[in-house]
A and B are shown apart, each in its own frame.
Chain A
Amino acid sequence: MKEKKSHINAIGIALSYVPKYSETFFKNKISGLQKSNYRVILFVDYKCLNDYNHKCEVVYAPKRYQNTIKTILSGFSTLVKAFLFNPKKAISLYYLDKQDGISFANRIKNIILNQFYFTKKIDWLHFGFGMNAIKRENVASAIGAKMAVSFRGSDLYITPLKHNNCYDLLFTKAIKYHVLSEEMKQTLIGYQVDKKYIQVITPAINIDFFKSSSAFKPDENLRLTTVARLHWKKGLEYTLEALSILKQQGIDFKFTIIGEGEERERLIFAAHQLGVINNVAFKGQLNHDEVKAHLQHTDIYLQYSIQEGFCNAVLEAQAMGLLCIVSNAEGLPENVINNQTGWVINKRNPMALAKKIMDVYHLPLVEKEAIRKNAIQRVNQKFNLEKQNREFVEFYK
């Protein structure tokens, strides 16, 4: 199973699933690295029907079973494979885990869990989300690769609330971290991670696709849009409360929510109870073209999130020259510069949001134009795919 060392640097990206077509971040990262002559290998935990073909190698973890007997058999065979074909890596992982005080049973489990990483020779092992690196803190060392971890938002701000101290071991390792914002960098530093290991690479969007359109004609009604999963993190309940304040003030508006999710019932009920159901359209999930078409007919874009790593949707809206009002959740104040490319207000404050929407709505046309122009310019300069690709190539040097 051993491979000859290739002169090309190989980068392993560890994820739970093969990224879908719509996950532009990974799609672009993979193709960007390939263009720079890197060999990219995806290591994924679960295989799905119709996994998207990224034109790179994919290594799947052994199938996981519900049935106890099958689990034991499969685990045993994986363990045998590990020691038979990659004994050095397996033993190395065993001892590294031992040094970290991991119990014997868990050391064996970790070999089984991580055997599929042993099968390829790579220079970097990059975990796509923080939680992908849990129980894998020593894998990169064991296989002789450098290790990197990306934190992208909820894995840094929410996962530790579900699993207390889940990153304690990870954060003791001298590895490279990629985060989306300065705010996230500060959060990591708060966990005692040395700042010299942390690099901020902001998300990027396809600025050729999300362009401002001259076709836009202001309508009599105020048209507002949010693109977001229907999840509490997105603060849509507070958004609806703000809109009910507008309605009470006699403002006519149409609010469109693009996205699907578990909290649909909660939000539809809220819209009913707040008396704005006739002003709100729940569009469900739309594709890029449909989202773009919709944004072209929007006056003000809202992203009043409670928790947000960075948010590509706001970048796309700004690139299209929309007036954006966002909350101050984590990465958003770096995404939108207050009073320059849009407006940032405190989260969970419907009254403040309602007031800001009215202020922006009544802003003189020249001032609106200035903000639109700034937003387009800043996104084009700072959040384009080429820049992101360059930064990632630099990251692995």
Chain B
Amino acid sequence: MSKKIKIAIYSGDIPSTTFIERLIKGLANKGVQIYLFGFIKSKMGYEKNVSIFGYRNTKISKVWHLLKFSVLLFLFKNKDKSKLDKMLKDKSNKPLIARVKYYPVLYYSPDVFHLQWAKGIDEWLWVKEFGIKLVLSLRGAHINYSPLADKRLTNIYKTNFPKVDAFHAVSKAISLEAQKYDAPKEKINVVYSGISLDTFINKYEKQNNVFRIVSIGRPHWKKGYNYALNAIKILKDKNIEFKYVIVGGKKNIELAYQIKDLGLEENITLLNQLAFKDVVNQMQSSDLLLLPSVEEGIANVVLEAMALKTLVVTTDCGGMNEVITNNYNGFLVPIRDPEAIAKTIEYVITLANDDKENIVKNALETINKNHNEQLMVDNMMNIYTKLFS
């Protein structure tokens, strides 16, 4: 493309999740013109080439937003507006809300509309009618389990996936999963999540009297914390000394009940969700990060722990085995297997310092090689530019 490419990164929320924000920042640093549409949750300081066309969650803001873009479209792109209105009339059951969302996108017509969540695919296919290329990210739950329990969603995927211009898959595993819903293989590009290593400079030596294990993430069932607690019980019964912290696990009744039931109050601390820098501190000061999940795309906390030279034990779910090679740069255990988690933690505790050093060194190398932010941004740019070659 001769002119500068304009890309809309759309998740619905501004700002979005950490990893989507990382992508936005990375692309902006490359000089790409980024458009953000959607609902503004809080003010963000972005680079100059990131333009925000969002609205706040108030009636006044939405009405103003709608009026402004109705007038602009009427004056400058009336033909397109009529075409979209006609499409909406045929399809949408909430045409006003749809217009609030769609009009600014139509008005600014980016070259690429990159939709971050697959569940929204049905709402955004219209952009193709206006020459906008549609890219869809394949992430976690939206692909791995939501369609299993929701036949309507399965049908939406099967109807619409073949029409998408290109897919970004967060792992090879999820790429295979998406193909079950008729995503054409040749249109899927695996781009691993990347992290900026400058943010993860390891400042401290770990100096814990008692072996410290940490898990990070909201207490959703897919995180498999119930299996972790069963593993902790096995370790406790073996009189192994350790401390286990779940960041984000506080106030979850399922966990609280299990901890009380198994008598693990002394060994486990549940913390509230923490700010990013505190999460980093937690990871850095722990001897081991445990990811007991039953489902993941590729868990970013694992990448972050590896960058911070904290040992990782993870279940072999989703794309985790594309990052971790057992006993080389971390440890893989089968899903839903407390015995295996306990056995592996016990093994890690008794590991000689040299061996631990080797593993965290290999882990850091893996991050440098496959999961650095620059690589992610370059690969993502490749997806976009390929659409115009």
Which A residues lie at the B interface, using CB under 8 A?
Answer: 157-158, 161-162, 232, 237, 241, 263-266, 268-270, 272-274, 306-307, 348
Given known A241-B336, A263-B221, A348-B230, contact A269–B149 (CB-CB < 8 A):
yes
Contacts of B230-271 to chain A: CB distance below 8 A: 230, 253-254, 256-258, 260-261
Contact, CB under 8 Å: B257 / A264: no
Contact, CB under 8 Å: A161 / B221: no
* Nearest CB on A from B144, distance (A): 8
Report Cα–Cα, A272/B336, bound state, in Å.
Answer: 13
CB nearest neighbor in A for B258: A306
- 7 nearest A-B pairs in the assembled complex, by CB-CB distance: A269-B145, A268-B149, A161-B256, A265-B149, A266-B221, A232-B254, A272-B148
Report Cα–Cα, A272/B150, bound state, in Å.
Answer: 13
Q: Which residues of the partner chain B approach A270 to less than 8 Å between Cβ atoms?
A: 294
Cβ-based interface call for B295 (8 A): yes
Which B residues lie at the A interface, using CB under 8 A?
Answer: 144-146, 148-150, 221-222, 226, 230, 253-254, 256-258, 260-261, 294-295, 335-336
Contact, CB under 8 Å: A161 / B149: no
Interface of B is mostly: helix
Contact, CB under 8 Å: B145 / A157: no
* Nearest CB on B from A282, distance (A): 9
Contact, CB under 8 Å: A307 / B257: yes
Interface of A is mostly: helix
Q: Which residues of the partner chain A approach B221 to less than 8 Å between Cβ atoms?
A: 232, 263, 266
Contact, CB under 8 Å: A269 / B336: no
Q: Which residues of the partner chain A approach B258 to less than 8 Å between Cβ atoms?
A: 306
Q: Which residues of the partner chain A approach B257 to less than 8 Å between Cβ atoms?
A: 157-158, 161, 306-307
Q: Which residues of the partner chain A approach B226 to less than 8 Å between Cβ atoms?
A: 232, 237
Q: Which residues of the partner chain A approach B253 to less than 8 Å between Cβ atoms?
A: 158, 161-162
Report Cα–Cα, A265/B144, bound state, in Å.
Answer: 11
Q: Which residues of the partner chain A approach B256 to less than 8 Å between Cβ atoms?
A: 161
* Nearest CB on B from A16, distance (A): 18
Q: Which residues of the partner chain A approach B260 to less than 8 Å between Cβ atoms?
A: 161
25 CB < 8 A contacts A-B: A157-B257, A161-B253, A162-B253, A232-B221, A232-B226, A232-B254, A237-B226, A241-B336, A263-B221, A264-B149, A265-B149, A265-B150, A266-B221, A266-B222, A269-B144, A269-B145, A269-B294, A270-B294, A272-B145, A273-B295, A273-B336, A274-B336, A307-B257, A307-B261, A348-B230
CB nearest neighbor in A for B259: A161
Report Cα–Cα, A268/B151, bound state, in Å.
Answer: 12
Pick the residue among A157, A161, A265, A307 that contacts B146 (CB under 8 A): A265
Report Cα–Cα, A103/B257, bound state, in Å.
Answer: 31
Contact, CB under 8 Å: A273 / B335: yes
Report Cα–Cα, A269/B253, bound state, in Å.
Answer: 21
14 other A-B residue contacts (CB within 8 Å) besides A161-B256, A232-B226, A265-B148:
A158-B253, A158-B257, A161-B253, A232-B254, A241-B336, A269-B222, A269-B294, A269-B295, A273-B294, A273-B295, A273-B336, A306-B257, A306-B261, A348-B230
Report Cα–Cα, A162/B148, bound state, in Å.
Answer: 32
Report Cα–Cα, A237/B221, bound state, in Å.
Answer: 11
Q: Which residues of the partner chain B approach A268 to less than 8 Å between Cβ atoms?
A: 145, 148-149
* Nearest CB on B from A352, distance (A): 13
CB nearest neighbor in B for A159: B253
Report Cα–Cα, A272/B177, bound state, in Å.
Answer: 13
* Nearest CB on A from B300, distance (A): 21
* Nearest CB on A from B218, distance (A): 14
Report Cα–Cα, A158/B260, bound state, in Å.
Answer: 10
Report Cα–Cα, A273/B177, bound state, in Å.
Answer: 12
CB nearest neighbor in A for B294: A273
Contact, CB under 8 Å: A265 / B336: no
Q: Which residues of the partner chain B approach A348 to less than 8 Å between Cβ atoms?
A: 230
Q: Which residues of the partner chain B approach A266 to less than 8 Å between Cβ atoms?
A: 221-222
Given known A161-B260, A241-B336, contact A265–B254 (CB-CB < 8 A):
no
Q: Which residues of the partner chain A approach B222 to less than 8 Å between Cβ atoms?
A: 266, 269
Q: Which residues of the partner chain A approach B148 to less than 8 Å between Cβ atoms?
A: 265, 268-269, 272
The CB with the most chain B CB atoms within 10 A, among A162, A268, A273, is that of A273
* Nearest CB on B from A28, distance (A): 30
Report Cα–Cα, A274/B336, bound state, in Å.
Answer: 10
Contact, CB under 8 Å: B145 / A265: yes
Report Cα–Cα, A371/B261, bound state, in Å.
Answer: 30
* Nearest CB on B from A260, distance (A): 12
Q: Which residues of the partner chain B approach A232 to less than 8 Å between Cβ atoms?
A: 221, 226, 254
* Nearest CB on B from A49, distance (A): 25
Report Cα–Cα, A45/B166, bound state, in Å.
Answer: 54
Q: Which residues of the partner chain A approach B144 to less than 8 Å between Cβ atoms?
A: 269
CB nearest neighbor in B for A350: B336
CB nearest neighbor in B for A270: B294
Report Cα–Cα, A210/B55, bound state, in Å.
Answer: 59
Q: Which residues of the partner chain A approach B335 to less than 8 Å between Cβ atoms?
A: 273
Report Cα–Cα, A217/B257, bound state, in Å.
Answer: 41
Report Cα–Cα, A263/B335, bound state, in Å.
Answer: 19
* Nearest CB on A from B177, distance (A): 11
Q: Which residues of the partner chain B approach A273 to less than 8 Å between Cβ atoms?
A: 294-295, 335-336
CB nearest neighbor in B for A330: B261
Report Cα–Cα, A265/B295, bound state, in Å.
Answer: 12
Report Cα–Cα, A241/B337, bound state, in Å.
Answer: 10
CB nearest neighbor in B for A349: B230
Report Cα–Cα, A162/B253, bound state, in Å.
Answer: 7
Report Cα–Cα, A138/B355, bound state, in Å.
Answer: 64
Report Cα–Cα, A307/B150, bound state, in Å.
Answer: 28
CB nearest neighbor in A for B295: A269
Report Cα–Cα, A264/B258, bound state, in Å.
Answer: 21
CB nearest neighbor in B for A241: B336
* Nearest CB on B from A213, distance (A): 33
Q: Which residues of the partner chain A approach B261 to less than 8 Å between Cβ atoms?
A: 306-307
* Nearest CB on B from A259, distance (A): 15
Report Cα–Cα, A264/B146, bound state, in Å.
Answer: 11
* Nearest CB on B from A249, distance (A): 17
Report Cα–Cα, A266/B256, bound state, in Å.
Answer: 19
Report Cα–Cα, A274/B335, bound state, in Å.
Answer: 10
Report Cα–Cα, A266/B230, bound state, in Å.
Answer: 18
Report Cα–Cα, A241/B334, bound state, in Å.
Answer: 13
The CB with the most chain A CB atoms within 10 A, among B226, B260, B294, B336, is that of B336
* Nearest CB on B from A270, distance (A): 7
Q: Which residues of the partner chain A approach B146 to less than 8 Å between Cβ atoms?
A: 265
Report Cα–Cα, A272/B295, bound state, in Å.
Answer: 12
Report Cα–Cα, A162/B250, bound state, in Å.
Answer: 11
Q: Which residues of the partner chain B approach A241 to less than 8 Å between Cβ atoms?
A: 336
CB nearest neighbor in B for A329: B261
